Amino acid sequence: MRILSGIQPSGALHIGNYFGMMQPAIALQAQGEAFYFIADYHALTTLHDPAALRENSRRLALDFLACGLDPEQGALFRQSDVPQVTELAWILSTVTPMGLLERAHSYKDKIARGMAASAGLFSYPVLMAADILIYGSDLVPVGKDQKQHLEIARDLALKWNDKFGDVLRVPEPYIQEKTETVPGLDGQKMSKSYGNTIDIFSDEKETRKRVMSIVTDSTPVDAPKNPDASVVFQLFSLFATAEEAAEMRAAFAQGGRGYGDFKKQFFGKLWRYFEPMRERRGEIIAQPGYIDEVLAKGANRANAIADEVMARVRNAVGLR
């Protein structure tokens, strides 16, 4: 089974990235042939600072490795180190209905938030489809917000195969139901664009400050509180055991504790959870050249498969 997942180098990773994409993707690395790419081509739709793109890509590789990606099991590489993916995106675009892209939720949402309506942003799902299909992926871990893009990839693979023969493998999604959407500090989906994130590797002071700024209601300290409507409880539950979550739920219902106490409890749980990863991150930083070696090795593995797929694609459409 071949597993593929990717993430944009748009800045510091937050716990929404971790639970929405990284944790489920890393958990699958022992179950098949795993490929993880840093989506720097995709990042160009919003990031036009070359130095920031390079820095973000390297930081993403560092953080992914610190969080448990094993380069001996999974290939980690930059999307741009496999330029064949842009060729496949063009070939797929020649059979992509305009209506399919016009219905993409992500494009509409980003335009509504004020992003420029570029051709790259509009055709983002086609490049994402190429990312998936060029490696013959069987399984693609995605968050709920990316589910439609995977469905588009499946539609394009089926449409292309219908025209040119059964060349492209049709992937299956893997959606972790428990953590489809991680709430941010304000209750919206955690996202850098909303400024409501808790970064994985911020220092202790900044992390505590972010946790203590989580928006809560005005329920008095002594009064019972609704855990299902609380961002604090929802975030705590991501890190807690079932027993720990049940204890906090009971404390909410009983009353007598303020939200500040629950935030402190959540901070302690959060900080301890990522402690081994912070230590691993320090070890990686102390090894000059390690990240470059990992990315080069991953790119070699990815290119070998991409070359095989593209040879079949070119032959099928008459380019060879």
Beta-bridge partner residues of 139 = 3, 172
Length of the chain: 320
Buried b or exposed e, range 53-63, using 16+ CB within 10 angstroms: beebbbbbbbb
The CA-atom distances, in angstroms, between 144 and each of 147, 154, 233 are 5, 16, 21
Rounded to whole angstroms, the Cα distance separating 292 from 61 reads 9
Contact assessment for residue 175 and residue 25, using Cβ atoms and an 8 Å cutoff: no
Catalytically annotated residue among 110, 159, 209, 263: 110
Q: Can you give the residue ranges of every domain in the chain?
A: 2-181+288-317, 202-273
Task: Decide if 192 is catalytic.
Answer: yes
Task: Decide if 189 is catalytic.
Answer: yes
pLDDT digits 0-9 by tens, 189-217: 898 888 999 999 999 999 999 999 999 99
Catalytically annotated residue among 144, 163, 189, 264: 189
Q: What pLDDT does 145 receive?
A: 67
Task: Decide if 225 is catalytic.
Answer: no
On the question of pLDDT at 257 being above 60, the answer is yes
Give the architecture-level CATH label for domain 202-273. Answer: Orthogonal Bundle (1.10)
157-186 mean pLDDT: 85
pLDDT digits 0-9 by tens, 53-81: 999 999 999 999 999 999 999 999 999 99
pLDDT digits 0-9 by tens, 214-236: 999 999 999 999 999 999 999 99
Catalytically annotated residue among 108, 159, 178, 192: 192
If we measure between CA atoms, which residue out of 121, 123, 37 comes closest to residue 79?
37
Q: Selecting from 3.20.20.70, 3.40.50.620, 3.30.110.40, 3.40.640.10, what CATH number does the domain 2-181+288-317 have?
A: 3.40.50.620
Rounded to whole angstroms, the Cα distance separating 279 from 283 reads 6
